[in-house]
């Protein structure tokens, strides 16, 4: 089932999310629904607070480079992260244009480490520690920010953020109205 998204201005997007205590049917259902939602919106990742759930859980669907031919990108792969923690960041950085399903039509460049090491639990309850680079690392850091109440617009350079401020105010106004009318129902 496709889930309704939380949009910019929704307080759930600013919550530091709670740890997942147990991988039960509720969590498995949530992950399935989130995958469906992600496919529907053609995103590169989705975090639980973006579907109104206060849980440290997200998934990425990011293309990876062909190890045989680094110029070539392979199809995106789906990865699920439960209770993730980024345990190391590379010194080398890269700048990527970012967008977010919760902040429609807003884009900006964010500078972040190129490679990270993450420890997390998968949907089968197995913990893993793995290195991610490139596009996929950017997606993981973007989603990991979400479960800590951080949005990519917080990481823009001041000048770029200022430029987007009027659009962000409009977005918030629009979604505040929608939220109000939904709360009345
Ligand atoms: Zn996002």
Residue 169 pLDDT more than 90?
yes
Ligand 1 centroid–CA 102 distance in Å is 6
Measured CA to CA in angstroms, residue 122 lies from 107, 128, 153 at distances of: 30, 7, 28
Ligand 1 centroid–CA 158 distance in Å is 19
Ligand 1 centroid–CA 74 distance in Å is 22
Do 160 and 109 contact (CB within 8 A), yes or no? Answer: yes
Question: How buried is residue 141: exposed, middle or buried, by Cβ count under 10 Å (0-12/13-18/19+)?
Answer: buried
Ligand 1 centroid–CA 82 distance in Å is 17
Q: What is the mean pLDDT of the chain?
A: 96
Return the SS3 of 140: helix
> Considering just the CA atoms, what is the radius of gyration of the chain in Å?
17
pLDDT at 17: 98
User: Which tens digit of pLDDT belongs to each residue from 107-136?
Assistant: 999 999 999 999 999 999 999 999 999 999
pLDDT at 182: 87
Catalytic machinery residues: 143
Q: Is 105 left (phi over 0), alpha (psi -120 to 50) or beta?
A: left
User: Which tens digit of pLDDT belongs to each residue from 134-155?
Assistant: 999 999 999 999 999 999 999 9
User: Which tens digit of pLDDT belongs to each residue from 7-54?
Assistant: 999 999 999 999 999 999 999 999 999 999 999 999 999 999 999 999
């Amino acid at each position: 089932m496709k889930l309704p998204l939380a949009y910019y201005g929704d307080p759930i997007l600013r919550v530091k999310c709670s740890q997942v205590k147990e991988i039960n049917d509720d969590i498995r259902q949530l992950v399935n629904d989130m995958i469906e939602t992600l496919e529907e919106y053609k995103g590169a990742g989705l975090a639980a607070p973006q579907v109104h759930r206060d849980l440290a859980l997200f998934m990425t669907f990011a293309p990876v480079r062909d190890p045989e031919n680094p110029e070539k990108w392979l199809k995106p792969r789906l990865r699920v992260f439960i209770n993730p923690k980024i345990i190391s960041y590379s010194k080398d950085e890269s700048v990527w244009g970012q967008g977010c399903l919760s902040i429609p039509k807003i884009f900006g460049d964010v500078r972040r480490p190129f490679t990270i090491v993450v420890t997390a639990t998968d949907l089968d309850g197995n913990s893993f520690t793995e290195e991610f680079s490139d596009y996929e690392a950017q997606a993981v850091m973007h989603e990991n920010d979400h479960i800590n109440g951080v949005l990519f617009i917080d990481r823009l350079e001041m000048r770029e953020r200022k430029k987007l401020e009027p659009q962000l105010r409009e977005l918030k106004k629009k979604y505040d109205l929608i939220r109000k009318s939904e709360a009345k129902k």
